[in-house]
Amino acid sequence: MRPSSATEKPPVDAADFKAAMRVLAASVTVITSRRGDQLNGMTATAVCSVSTAPPQILAVVNRETTSHGLIADSGAFAVNILAAHQQELAGRFARRLDRPFEDVAHGLGETGCPLLAEAVAVIECRLRERHHAGTHTIFVGEVVGVSCRGAEPLLYFDGGYRRLAAADGAPPSWR
């Protein structure tokens, strides 16, 4: 495989690449972090399970975000998987905010990261590895806390928020 550089012509058209990624349906999460008194959250879909022993997940974070510095400096982050009724939070945390958690119901986890109330699941991690990849960093975290509750998740597909439906019409398992 040939190495690519920023000056080389990209191997595929950027619009084609974006069009393909738009149809990768994903759960919507808010990645939360904390450095001292500074709490932050960012909406993210680039989150994935990595390993069960030890339990690890990864999150792919743009280096230009506020969250990137907080996660890198504090060595911790939490992934809050949003419920279908939490779309307003997805919009809120996709912007830079002065007081991101004002009027947002949350607690603090053992790493100090904010944990969102009413999330479908919350996965709290200590940072174990980081890998640079283009404009982003892949943060690999070891799971130190997890909570899960039955609720419908919020999805993102083709540039919009969506709801889940069973392919065979079966009733959803969260009811």
Ligand X SMILES: Cc1cc2nc3c(=O)[nH]c(=O)nc-3n(C[C@H](O)[C@H](O)[C@H](O)COP(=O)(O)O)c2cc1C
Task: Give contact residues for ligand X (rule: CB under 6 A).
Answer: 28, 40, 42-46, 60-62, 65-67, 94-96, 156
Q: Please, which residue, 56 or 62, has the CB nearer to ligand X?
A: 62
Minimal distance, residue 158 CB to ligand X, in Å: 11
CA atoms within 13 Å, Cβ hemisphere of 89 = 30
Minimal distance, residue 130 CB to ligand X, in Å: 14
Minimal distance, residue 29 CB to ligand X, in Å: 8
Q: Please, which residue, 56 or 66, has the CB nearer to ligand X?
A: 66
Q: Please, which residue, 94 or 150, has the CB nearer to ligand X?
A: 94
Minimal distance, residue 59 CB to ligand X, in Å: 7
Residue 165: CB partners within 8 Å, gap ≥ 6? none
Coil/strand/helix, residue 54: coil
Q: Please, which residue, 28 or 119, has the CB nearer to ligand X?
A: 28
Residue 130: CB partners within 8 Å, gap ≥ 6? 72, 137, 138, 139, 140
CA atoms within 13 Å, Cβ hemisphere of 7 = 0
